[in-house]
Amino acid sequence: MKQKQTKFFLLASLVLIITIAVIYISIFRLQVGSSVSAGWWIKSVYDYKEHFTEQIKEPKIIIASGSNALFGVDSRVITSITGYPSTSLSVHAGLNLDFLYFKIQKHLKQGDILVMPLEYFYYYNTEEILSQWFVSNMIAWGETEYLDKISFLSYLAFIANTPKERILNGLYHLGKKSKLPSKNEVMNELKEIHNKKNYKFYGYSHRSLNKYGDILAPKRPNDVVSSIFFNTGEDYTTTNTELDPAFLADFEKIQKLADLRGAKLILTWPVTMRNKLFDLGTEPHQARVSLLSEKLSENGVKIECEPGLFNLHYKFFLNDRYHLNSVGANIRSISLGNCIKGLIENRVETYTFESSLEKVKALEAKYNYGSSGLEWKEVDKTYSAHLRPH
Amino acid sequence: MLFNSPIYIFLFLPIAVLIYFLLNKHSNEAVGKGWLVLASLFFYGYWNANYLVLIIASMLVNYAVGSLLRKQSGEERLEKRRKRILILGIVFNLSLLGYFKYADFFIENINLFAETNIASLDLILPLAISFFTFQQIAYIVDCYKDITNEYDFLNYALFVTFFPQLIAGPIVHHKQMMPQFVSQQNSLVNWENIALGVYIFFIGLLKKVVIADTFAEWANVGFANTESLNFFDAWGASLSYTFQLYYDFSGYTDMAIGAALLFNIRLPVNFNSPYKAVNIQDFWRRWHITLSNWLRDYIYIPLGGSHASKFKIYRNIMLTFVLGGLWHGAGWTFILWGVLHGSALVIHRLWHKTRIKLPKVIAWFITFQFVNIAWIFFRADSVSSALNMIRAMADVSNISISPTFHNLIIYFSPIHLPKFSFVGDDSIFSILTLEYILIFGASALLMPNSLQIIRFIPRKTKLGFRETPLFLALLVLMASLSFLTFIGNASQSEFLYFNF
């Protein structure tokens, strides 16, 4: 009798705890997509970028990372140098690698070249499994992009990482008008902007995208840039030398995808700001970057090109240590384009930190305020030849 | 793997229990025990697999020493050799502990006093080393005294590695554990133990994630800024740490006891409402009881204990507590904490001789305040930081309260009060801090403790666990509150005693 009572007690506890968990999950699901404040612009930017990518016939170059490639890559320059039409699926480094995987797998085809200039923090172990920014954004606009595609266990882990306050906020905003323009609205608006041919920078907005899905921001006055960037940027790399196991697992997944689809994967360095706190001409920073390269190599991951080629003077930056202005994007794209071309043609060009910095400094001097020197009409021809017929 | 992590609660623990009983049912007990040892080693290696070598080597050496000592017992001509073996065994254990835990502390101090420049070793302290080393020293000492039974290696391995108590105790004694490991009755599922185990486990989880981790926020801020604390902030931070430590460590112990009960193993009592103590001796009979017992049996008594001259007794007390302080960590703050407690016990002995009895409330207040002040040394990063906090706690001229707090006092005051002149910015000592200190302080002082609730410690209480709807509701409430608290916190916080 006593044993029966005890078993009932345990069973009832279990059932009640599971019931409460189910109620909690239901509440979570209910508020997914509600119009809380989040990085809604990212979704619209992806809408356009993916639309643009879908128009390109393979083989193509896809650049996928965080915002260092949204602001720091001019796809036309890459196209001009490599002869491959180039597109970028890079928007925000707060989106984790697993999310990038979902984006890449929608567009990667046979013969494509996937270039990943990942920001440094993608590599390192952080306390946070999922950042609260990422969680909040996925709940806001990532339902069909991400949440619906992850496994049940990952979904539960996702719920466990969502702050209760965020769920309450979601419930509070339930039923309010969505902050997200429809995909059609985004396309129409950008079509109109691109037809006017007078490109304007609208900040963090899909309206800042050019025809090729890049944001090429204007150069800011030198004194403003100096005041912001002269002393920032030291924390690109970290003294924590352990690679994040989640990075290695996700990267392996992307590598397998590339192999399966017959595509080439190139992992490379992000852009960095050269100032007195981070200068790849100096030994301590070279050592930290080299250490990352070694750690990756120990885990069977090769990182291509020279990091010094992307270590640009701070005056080529916009508003963040990873965000270049249009002149910086041009210089970076030339270096990146040449590197990709070398890898495609199996030409191995080795640089030291010093020689790569000399090269980038020469580019900085050449394009300081001027244009890229490329014939855009020729570039458009390359794209046109690869665009799908409507 | 932390006791308060989903992977432990939802995966590791249920799988370990399920497979253990399945193996016991379908094969012999040794297989079940073998599984438990493997599961425990996995649990230990989950943090850092490299240290598995250390715990396994320590276990093998101590078992060999113990076996040798037992084999040679009873033969007088081998007595000297046995003593040498024992000394070698103790030296081996202390060397491990010394190398990993104290080497850098000694290097640091040699550099400081001899003005040398010896490079520190920068070793990562292997988890649980203080606990499994002490348990095994006790074992080989008892083998030498010939008061152990013949244990096979599997039972011994389980005694050392049993995961519920492996990381932060309670420090178990072979005499308590071995009979339980060999009992056939314990290899069968016992639903009552499971219900009791689940209940105490969730009490512990609640203590940790709802109470201790909240106190930790205030304590951490306070102890990180001791040079700029005002009077209330300093009291808020020190009391927060005092309660954090209790709820954290006793919460851990409750979870350990609960997990062990699922396997029908009863771990020893480690806490018995320590903040109810009315003198310092009483405190040490209630706080970290298994450590106190170990220090008494293996340091204090071998030093001569209370059967010596007055001076020697006091010396023995001081030595025991300085070593107890050092056991917690290699640092002057821990040594000072030990000195403070040793001195308090000496004073208590002297006071006891006067036969003057203080009213209970006053005795309690003095004891609690002493313990609270001593914890400051235990927690602070340095002696100067501890002194800063104590200074701030005594500096009544530096009073500043948060605006919210001030407005509430004015609002609820039965008489009209003028606006206070000492309203500052938002401080550590918020309304919530006060509420937590009052509610959970009172609970630690007035309520029956968790072990009384599950009747590990006898006490007449209506809160004694029974399988009734009320306790069902309480269990579900505790579980839900705990899970809700760690939802949204990407990483679970470690238990404080993991550092020791």
Q: Do B195 and A17 touch (CB under 8 A)?
A: no
Q: Which residues pair with A264 in a beta bridge?
A: A113
C-alpha–C-alpha distance, residues B391 and B394, integer Å: 5
Cα separation, B6 vs B8, in Å, equals: 5
- Collect all residues of chain A within an 8 Å Cβ-Cβ radius of residue B472: 9, 12-13, 16
**Whether B198 and A13 lie within 8 Å, measured CB to CB:** yes
Tokens 């990063």, residue located: B381
Q: Which of B174, B328, B341, B348 is catalytic?
A: B328
Predicted pLDDT of residue A141: 85
- Shortest CA distance to A330 belongs to which of A357, A310, A344, A348? A310
Distance CA B219, CA B240 (A): 5
Structure tokens at B257: 């006891």
Q: What tens digit of pLDDT does each residue of B276-308 get?
A: 999 999 999 999 999 999 999 989 998 888 888
Q: Where is pLDDT greater, at A372 or A245?
A: A245
Q: Could you read off the pLDDT of A62-82 as tens digits, one per residue?
A: 999 999 999 999 999 999 999
Q: What is the CA radius of gyration of chain A?
A: 23
Q: Which of A336, A334, A320, A321 lies closest to A371, judged by CA?
A: A334
Structure tokens at B42: 């996995």
* Confidence class for position B321, pLDDT limits 50, 70, 90: very high
Are A147 and B475 a contacting pair, CB within 8 Å? no
pTM over the 0.80 mark:
no
Percent of chain B at pLDDT > 70 equals 94
Query: Residues A225-282: pLDDT tens digits?
Result: 666 666 665 567 766 668 888 899 999 999 999 999 999 999 999 999 887 778 888 8
Which stretches does DSSP call E strand in B196-325?
A: none
Burial A214-240 (b: 16+ CB within 10 A, else e): bbbbebeeeeebeebbeeebeebbeee
Within an 8 Å CB–CB cutoff, is residue B192 touching chain A? Answer: yes
Highest mean pLDDT among A62-66, A188-192, A353-357, B422-426: A62-66
Nearest 5°: the CA angle B219, B220, B225 is: 100
Residue B300 in tokens: 């204090």
Helix (H, G, I), strand (E, B) or coil at A297: helix
B12-50 b/e (C-beta count within 10 Å ≥ 16 → b) = bbeebbeebbebbeeeebeebbbbbbebbbebbbbbeee
Q: B198 contacts in A (CB within 8 Å)? A: 10, 13
Top residue of B476, B477, B491, B494 to mutate, by most chain A CBs within 10 Å, is B476
C-beta atoms surrounding B323 within 10 Å: 16
**Of all residues in chain B, what percent are helix, strand and coil, respectively (each to 5)?**
70, 0, 30
Whole-number percent of chain A with pLDDT over 70: 87
Residue type present at position B267: L
Cis, peptide link before residue B170, omega less than 30° from 0 = yes
Name every chain A residue with its beta carbon within 8 A of the beta carbon of B484: 24, 164
Whether cis (ω within 30° of 0) applies to the bond prior to A59 is yes
> Residue B67: which region, alpha, beta or left (left: phi > 0; alpha: psi -120 to 50)?
alpha
Select the more confidently predicted residue: B2 or B224. B224
Q: B411-455: per-residue pLDDT in tens?
A: 777 777 666 666 666 666 777 888 899 999 999 999 888 888 888
Instruction: Check residue A223 and give its pLDDT.
Output: 65
> What angle, rounded to 10 degrees, do the helices at B383-394 and B360-379 form?
140
- Rounded CA separation B404/B494 (Å): 32
Contact yes or no for B158/B135 (Cβ under 8 A): no
Identify the pLDDT of residue A372: 46
Q: Residue A121's pLDDT is what?
A: 85
Chain A nearest CA to B489, separation (Å)? 6
Q: Cβ atoms within 10 A of the Cβ of A182, count?
A: 11
Residue B256: its H or E element: helix B231-262
Does residue A124 sit in helix, strand or coil? Answer: strand
Greater confidence, B488 or A390?
B488
Establish whether B352 is a catalytic residue: no
> What is the Cα–Cα distance from B204 to B246, expressed in whole angstroms?
11
Q: How far apart are CA B305 and CA B299, in angstroms?
A: 8
Tell me the β-bridge partners of A266: A115
Judged by CB atoms closer than 8 Å, whether chains meet at A10 and B198 is answered as yes
Q: Are B231 and B250 in contact (CB under 8 A)?
A: no
**H/E segment holding residue A294:** helix A283-298
> Going by DSSP bridges, is the β-strand pair A272-274/A311-313 parallel, antiparallel, or unpaired?
parallel
pLDDT computed for residue B420 by the predictor: 66
Mean of the per-residue pLDDT values of chain A: 85
List pLDDT tens digits, range B60-73.
Answer: 999 999 999 888 87
Beta-carbon contacts of residue B436 (< 8 Å; ≥ 6 apart): B211, B214, B215, B240, B243
Task: Please list every residue in chain B whose beta carbon sits closer than 8 Å to the beta carbon of residue A3.
Answer: 191-192
Check pLDDT > 50 for residue A102. yes
Q: Where are the beta strands (DSSP E) in chain A?
A: 61-63, 86-88, 113-116, 264-268, 272-274, 303-304, 311-313, 317-320, 323-324
